[in-house]
Every structure is written in C-alpha cells, then in structure tokens.
Structure 1
C-alpha cells in the first residue's frame, strides 16, 4: 500500500493566517492518522516579497500549534535547477514552446478577445513557430486545444474543466525562473505527495497542474479543495474581522489546543461533537467529514472553546503561560508557585490567558503601588466601615492559620458578633484588597495573597 504523503506549502510573504493554519491541520491530521508523512515546503519563488522573518514566523506558528512536520522545510528558491530540468523536458517532447510575445502584445490579444465577446487569453501566436531561447522569451505550456480536464475532488466530487477555458500559460519566465504552476507540480511529484488538500482558492489552478502532471508522466495525487473561511458578515475573512495571524492569537492568550479544536470545526464535523483534544482528533478525523460549505469564523465560539481548555487545563502549564504574558506586558516577574495559586481562581471564568492576566493584575502589586478605584473607595470605604476593617485586620493578624476556612470562620464570628450582614462588608473588603469591586471569592483571594500582603492592603485602605 502506498504511503500517504501530504504537504503544507505556505508563501513567506506574510504571517501564517487562520485559513492556512486550518489547511495545515487537515493535512497534518490525515498524514498522522494514516501513518504517513507530512511535509513543510516554503514556496518562496516571489523573492521580492518573501522574507526570512516571515519564514521564521510561519515555522514558529507551526511549532506553537504542534503541527510538527516529518520533512522540510524545503525552499522552492533553492530548487530552480530541478524545475528547469523539467521545463526543458517539456520543450524536448513538444509539450511546451518558446514565446517572444511581449506583455503588451499579450494584453492586446486579451483586449481583442474581450471586444469580440471571447475569453481574454493568449492567442497561441508562437505555438507552432518553433522558436528557440532568446532575450525576453518565456516558455509556455502547450495546452490541448480540445477536451476536458476531469478530476474527482475529495470534498466537492467530480469537477470537469473545458480546456478551451485555458490558454497556453507561462511555465518559465524570461529571467529563467519557473512559474508557480510548474514548481508546485514538480515538487509534489518528486516529494511523493499523494493528497493535495488546500483551500478552494486554488481550485482554478488544478486543471493546469493536472495537464502538467500528464505531460510529464507523473502519477496524479488526489485533490481536495476546502471551502473558504468567512467573517461574521459572510465575506472572505480579512484583517477587518480582527486578528488573522495565528501568532496574534497566542499573544491574545489563546491556547494552541483550543485553536486546533476550533479550527478543525471550520469545515469538518464529527456528529454533534464540538470539542476535541489532539488525541481525539487523531482518532476521529476523516476526509469524509469535510464539508462543502464555507465556514464562518465566530470569536464567541472561539472564546467558548478556549475557556473550556483553560478550565480543564494543567495548572502548572497554565501558570507558566500566564507568566509569559505578564512578563511581556508588565514590569512584574511573579514566581511560578504564586501563579499556580492564582490560576485556579480564574479557571472557571477566564476566556483567555490575557483576560486572566488583566483580571489578576492586583495580585502583582504591593500595597504601595496597587491602584484604587476612587469611586469604589468613596462608596464603600466609609468611616464606619473602616472601623470594622481595622478590627478585622487585627483579628486576621492573630489567626493561627491564614487559609480559606480560618478566614471564613473569623468573618462569620465577627458578623454574628456585630449583627452585620456579609454583604455589608464583602465589597469594602474587596475594594481594600484588590482596589476594585471585581475579584474571585474573597477568602480564596486573601489566602492566595497571604497574610502579609492582605494586612498591608487593609492598612493602606484605611489611609485612603
């Protein structure tokens, strides 16, 4: 049985975006599930726009998502001689020819065709002229004049393409470099790619590529074209819909496992299942589950997915990731064990690690730098309430143990003694220890802050 080989071939002219990441994921899962090979190929033939920075960023994003490749990265910019050897083979066998028409002449041909109500394309002027190489000459593929290109798309089913819709397209530029259509076929054939799973914006390329496969005698891979991802307004996803680069989601506090679970559902389904671990995806993914309709990117759904993985995540790991965000966005450098105590307070409610970092910011200050909400101070820290807080502070200081139960018991005894309701002191205590009116449970918060920090904040609040 032939080994399954898939590939992901991004262009390093930009960061890895959501659509590309989904394509990479589908190819990765299919290869892994079938004991096959997953190849990373960098399609950097556009040297003017390709950069090493973008290449590094794409590879970093792949590693962050855990989409590890078995071979590569291969770079098309280093394979020019290989492509040209196959262009030369087509020239030798009559499958291609030199063309001396200038870009202006070709454009004039297209305009003439348009004026006559025909498809605007190159008219084949040099097709039978038998030209050889020369300055300014390109090489064109000799497209059959009649017939159809037919293939069975893995996702969309049978697709037929009339060759009269195509012209004799360029496969080598005048500067000697191969065009994308030629390079991608040679690469896929030489690398043994058996399944080409890609976005349906590539569907129009497939007939041309099939013709090159056939002309070179290469076996055809199976093609599958995944419908595009749309923004909430049902238009093609772009920067106006928010972040499109995968690594921006890392910076925004999303977990890679949440991104995988959400991305896979943009175009693939497995019954009514909505959430998947990596292991579950490797068990359940199938090409048969890929849909024919475009998917809509929904931030609310991504947030829901991410909150699930935060809620069920490993605390030490989450604490480490939280620390990275805090250190990259604030001057604070909290200890790992302190973060591990903070994380469980926010796991039930945080949508992202960035949100967790923002909400937990009060944990990082000392009493002297903790910012206080002036309106909350004025509303809740009245002279009468301050007296109660002073008494509670002295009792907390005397507690043998400073834990949730001890604090709760102390507060309950004080309330019973004074006849106060808990709500009369809850917000004042919250303002005193956090500077705001929003926080996790009071006693859990004080336990994590610890005796010293809590008492310092009480004393600070009494001076406001």
Structure 2
C-alpha cells in the first residue's frame, strides 16, 4: 500500500466559512425523530452559541431502504418547537449547500477515486450471500467477524472466476495492520477503540456509507467539533484514518453518553414511546421544560449561593456555564418523573395569557373548542385557565377540566366515579344549594356597567351557610354533589370560582339537572 496522500481534486477552501467554531447535528430521516437528536442538538448548539460559532443541520439520507419522506419535516418541526434553531441547513441554505447527503453524491466520488488511486481502498465484488456465509463460518469458529479480503489485490476478471461474485462492486477502505486506534475525546480524554475491519465506504447503489460521507461532509462544511453518541467511539479510528489518508485536518471529537432507561438499557423507539421526539409535544410537555430536562442529562446543575442545586433553568443559562469537561460520561437515566416535575414548574411560571394560548391547540384537537373560537369562548378560556394553571402537569390534562365549561347545561356528562361517590344526602345538598344561590342577586343586578354580583366570595358564603351550617355536613363532604353537578367530575377546578364563571343561570340549571336524576 502506498504511503502517498494528496488532496482530492477541487478540495474546498473551508477557511473562509463563518464562525470560529462550527458544529452540526446530522439525523437520518428513517422515522419519527429520536429524542437523542434533540439531546445532541442542545449540546452542539450550546457550545456553538457560547463561542459565537455556527450550528448546522445536515440530513444524512443515504440509507434509502429505511428512508421516510415525512421524517425530514418532523426533524425541522420538532427542533424548531424546542427552540433549537440552526444557522445553516436544507431549508435555510448556507455557504455549504446542499445539506442533504442524497444531493451531494457527486461530492463523494473524487474522494473515493483518490483513496483507490493511493491504495487506501479497493473494490469488492463479493455477493451478499457470500458475505453471509463468511460471517456464519466465522461465528461458528468463534472468530472475530470481518471481511476476509478475498477481493483485495484482484482485478474484476480474477475475482469473477471465484464463487460469490456480484456484478456491481462496493468500495472498501484498506485498514492497515498497524492502524493507530487511539484518539483524544473532549469528554473522555484519550480513548482506544477496537481494530476495525475493511469497512465499506461506497455502496453498490453509488451512495456513500456513513463513514465516508461524514468525513467528507464535515470537512467540506468546516466542522470543527463532532459531537455524537458514544456508540460511534468504535468508528472514530476509521474516520481519523480517512482524514489522514485524504490529507485533511480532523475535527475535535466529543462522544456523549447514551440516554438509558431505569433498567440501564438504551432508549429505543421500538420499545419506548418517549424515544420519539414528537411524543413530547403530543403529551403536552412544554418545549422549555424538555430542553431544561435534556440539559440536566449528563451535565451537573448550577448551584446557588448556599450550595443547593439549581435544576430549573433556561437555554441561555445552560449556554453561559457550558464546559465539555463537566459532561458526565456515564449514561444518564431518562427519568420521566423528573421531567413531569419540571414541566409542572415551567407551566406554573407561564404568564396567564401565554398559558391560555398553549392550551388552545390541545382543546381544539380534543373538540372542546372549534377551529375559530369566538371572543366569548376565548374570554371564558382565560378565566378557566387561571383556575387550572397550578393543577396540571401536562397540557393534555386541561381537556377534562375545561370541557364542562363549553357544554350545554343539560348535557353535562356525569362520570361514573363521580356519581358513585354521591351519598344519600345529595338531594338535600342540591336543594339547599339551589335555594341559597337563587337568593343571591343576579349577575349584573343594579346599574348598567356595575360589577357582577354572582361572585365566588358571595357564592361560598351562601353555600357554607346553607349546606355546612344549615345541614350540618362537614366541609370536606358538603360540596361533592355540587362539584359533580357543575363539572360532572369528582375532580374539577375550584368550585365557587367555577360557578362564578358559569354564572347564576347555568349553575342553577346544572344543579337542577343532576337533582332530577336522583
């Protein structure tokens, strides 16, 4: 094998690319985006922003067998939902376009030809059947699996004379026996990986494999730091080899720990719904809560003046204190209970109007409100939202609490568990409450423009007098039938405030409707 290396034809000058550092995330559009894409994007973007650099999104779509057309748009949508935007990419352009590997096929060929000419790569005509038999034999003999170099040094004619020939060859890199397997990692220090076999770098369909494409693209896009999961540690010596053979300067490497379940297994989309990035939006998580959560994975929280952990923070806080040396290489546990807690904290911190606007899409999705709600419906939603903001941990939980405020008074559906907890005194409670509320002034009795008089304070005083004092029922039991009548649920927003929002007429109608069924 020749030791000669030279630059590939028309090698790009990357010195003029913007940004003192350039980082990228490069997902494959093979299904719903993995939560790991957001995890990697957060750490890449944090460092890029801290250093005043650039963050790129590249779509690695060379796996045509698993390619899914809608997946790319899901990547765009979910990362933007999280606020993890990019400076260059397929949809925004940039100086290194195109940013889809399938649109860069002519880019890779000169690099392959240079590797072939320098003896660092060779064509392989082995059929898939022959390779499968080879691996089976190696496994049966308990040998390491890897290509046996049958095609190395043979012409097409020489190889054709042997069994297991395929008309369309692949190209393999020729890994030397004395390959250097050590490299420096920003997180883990000096690492040593297992010796690779002669990896395929160009497939029979003309598409490059990940190993070639990632080296070429990262070089041509001026990537200074490659941040990826620890599963790629074993591939890094191959990539360092390719950089060396092509006369290119390798980037710095940082291999992030993998996200793990509580049983320490790797999170997978096949087994874990939360591995799908789209799942979090569907389940009513706030994007800022998920970013906060991802920032706590593999990274220590800040501490306040008293030495207490500060676990609630925003993206800018994370950027300000980011340091690769602080990343914990041990695989973090993906604790959904922690995420639920964070989501509740972030929900309660929203401004009322913001919280209301976040609820609206979920209420529309569930049919509580239409596509174009009226001003009156939106006004009522603001009132109801104020009652439930401290009572939910996910936006999806709002539907059950809000829906009773948008149904006809005679159409309130009483849940089975709510009806089952009604006691024998429920009719008396409903009758006494109805009489007490009927005696209150109407909503706007008095001068035009006066304050409404059917208010929570007056409602509470009237009901306590009629039910607690009048019937002698303990407060914790007194209002169950009224809650059921108003909302149809055992658990609802605060009762007296709910009655105020509904108004006197609707409240009395709902009490009467439940009373009629007892």
TM-score computed with the length of structure 1 as normaliser: 0.92
The residue aligned with 2:277 is 246
| Selected match of 2:207 from 177, 180, 186 | 177
Identify if the C-alpha distance between structure 1 residues 460 and 393 changes in structure 2 by more than 3 Å, giving closer, same or farther.
farther
CA RMSD of aligned residues (A): 2.6
Q: Distance in 2 between matches of 1:447 and 1:367?
A: 14
Q: Distance in 2 between matches of 1:349 and 1:417?
A: 29
Structure 1: 5+ residue stretches without partners? none
The residue aligned with 2:305 is none
Q: Deviations over 1:33-82 (max 9, x none)?
A: 21111111111101232122111111111111111111012211110000
Secondary structure at the counterpart of residue 275 of structure 2? coil
**Is 1:84 aligned to 2:95, yes or no?**
no
Identify if the C-alpha distance between structure 1 residues 99 and 392 changes in structure 2 by more than 3 Å, giving closer, same or farther.
same
Q: Deviations over 1:295-327 (max 9, x none)?
A: 111121111111111111122222122121111
**Is 1:233 aligned to 2:263, yes or no?**
yes
- Structure having the higher helix fraction is 1
**Is 1:6 aligned to 2:43, yes or no?**
no
Deviates more, 1:379-388 or 1:177-186: 379-388
Q: Distance in 1 between matches of 2:426 and 2:167?
A: 88
User: 1:29: how far off?
Assistant: 1.4
Cα contact 2:433–2:467 (8 A) shared by 1? no
Identify if the C-alpha distance between structure 1 residues 396 and 213 changes in structure 2 by more than 3 Å, giving closer, same or farther.
farther
Secondary structure at the counterpart of residue 71 of structure 1? coil
Deviates more, 1:436-445 or 1:98-107: 98-107
Deviates more, 1:191-200 or 1:361-370: 361-370
**Is 1:262 aligned to 2:302, yes or no?**
no
Cα contact 1:376–1:436 (8 A) shared by 2? no
The residue aligned with 1:438 is 491
Secondary structure at the counterpart of residue 193 of structure 1? coil
The residue aligned with 2:75 is 58
Q: Distance in 2 between matches of 1:427 and 1:116?
A: 73
The residue aligned with 2:322 is 285
The residue aligned with 1:16 is 33
Q: Distance in 2 between matches of 1:345 and 1:195?
A: 48
**What does 1:250-329 correspond to in 2, within 5 Å?**
250-271=281-302, 272-329=309-366
Identify if the C-alpha distance between structure 1 residues 109 and 233 changes in structure 2 by more than 3 Å, giving closer, same or farther.
closer
Secondary structure at the counterpart of residue 423 of structure 2? helix
Q: Distance in 1 between matches of 2:42 and 2:264?
A: 23
Identify if the C-alpha distance between structure 1 residues 116 and 253 changes in structure 2 by more than 3 Å, giving closer, same or farther.
closer
Identify if the C-alpha distance between structure 1 residues 104 and 441 changes in structure 2 by more than 3 Å, giving closer, same or farther.
closer
| Selected match of 1:330 from 362, 367, 370 | 367
Deviates more, 1:175-184 or 1:71-80: 175-184
In the comparison of the two structures, how many residue pairs are matched? 462
Q: Distance in 2 between matches of 1:220 and 1:135?
A: 35
| Selected match of 2:388 from 324, 334, 346 | 346
Q: Distance in 2 between matches of 1:229 and 1:150?
A: 25
Cα contact 2:193–2:233 (8 A) shared by 1? no
Q: Distance in 1 between matches of 2:80 and 2:44?
A: 15
Cα contact 1:41–1:72 (8 A) shared by 2? yes
Q: Distance in 2 between matches of 1:112 and 1:354?
A: 54
User: 1:176: how far off?
Assistant: 2.4
**Is 1:144 aligned to 2:176, yes or no?**
yes
Cα contact 1:431–1:437 (8 A) shared by 2? yes
Q: Distance in 2 between matches of 1:310 and 1:101?
A: 58
Identify if the C-alpha distance between structure 1 residues 309 and 324 changes in structure 2 by more than 3 Å, giving closer, same or farther.
same
Secondary structure at the counterpart of residue 89 of structure 2? strand
Q: Deviations over 1:263-294 (max 9, x none)?
A: 12121113423221222222223222211111
User: 1:420: how far off?
Assistant: 3.9
Cα contact 1:270–1:289 (8 A) shared by 2? no
Structure 2: 5+ residue stretches without partners? 1-14, 91-98, 160-165, 303-308, 446-452
